[in-house]
Structure 1
Amino acid sequence: MKTIENVDVREIRRKLGLNQSQFWSKIGVTQSGGSRYESGRNVPRPVQALLRLVHIEQIDLNKIRKDDFEVIEYLRAHKSEMFKNLKKEAKAKKKEK
């Protein structure tokens, strides 16, 4: 059984009382794919992140809006620029003191 962040995926599924199909379909993984992960195949990082969000943090992916994705993409595209601006502002405030 593969683990994510030292947590047994199969154990999480069993504690939630879900069969493989119910558990894995919530994050877009087929039952057979989920079975392979539970049997020892490495779980890719994006799948690990989805497992954490959906089954541990109880976030309903159906409630995430398109606007949320657009904000995330904007932040990714402009993060280096934003960090530079924040550093400049911090230095300016430090000099004022």
Structure 2
Amino acid sequence: MKLFEKITNPREIRRKLGMNQQEFWTKIGVTQSGGSRYESGRDMPKPVRELLRLVHMEQVDLSKVKREDFEIVEYMKRAHADLYKSMKKAVRSAHKETGSNVH
């Protein structure tokens, strides 16, 4: 899924994860009633779509992510592109070996 891509059915994502509306939407800072409106077809703002993608589809634990983490990644991409690519490849390989979906 591309950054800010239209999420057509958040209810389907929530059900596949086996979560109720309160659990699902609260995890990204949306009220249950707001989430219910999105599940009924109301357009989601881009930031909400991206949070949904990161938290529920990419399985990113936002409580563990710090600004410094992004700064390190950007620095590594810029200053040590080969090392970054090598590490990215190693992580993908490890996920395949363990069957993990976590990014």
Q: Quickly name the TM-score band, shorter chain normalised.
A: 0.5 to 0.7
Matches of 1:7 and 1:59, distance apart in 2 = 20
Figure out how many residues of one structure are paired with residues of the other and give that number: 70
2:21 aligned partner: 20
**Structure 1 residue matching 2:52: 3-state secondary structure:** helix
* CA deviation string 1:34-74 (max 9, x = no partner): 001111111000000001101110000111124246x39xx
Gaps of 5+ in 1: 76-81, 83-97
Alpha carbons 2:7, 2:49 under 8 Å: kept: no
Alpha carbons 2:25, 2:32 under 8 Å: kept: yes
1:57 aligned partner: 58
Gaps of 5+ in 2: 79-103
TM-score computed with the length of structure 2 as normaliser:
0.60
Which residue identity is paired with 1:60?
D
| More helix by percentage | 1
**Structure 2 residue matching 1:29: 3-state secondary structure:** coil
2:68 aligned partner: 67
Q: What's the offset of the Cα at 1:6?
A: 5.0
Which residue identity is paired with 1:54?
V
| More strand by percentage | 1
Moved over 6 A (4+): none
Q: Which has the larger radius of gyration?
A: 1
Matches of 1:12 and 1:40, distance apart in 2 = 14
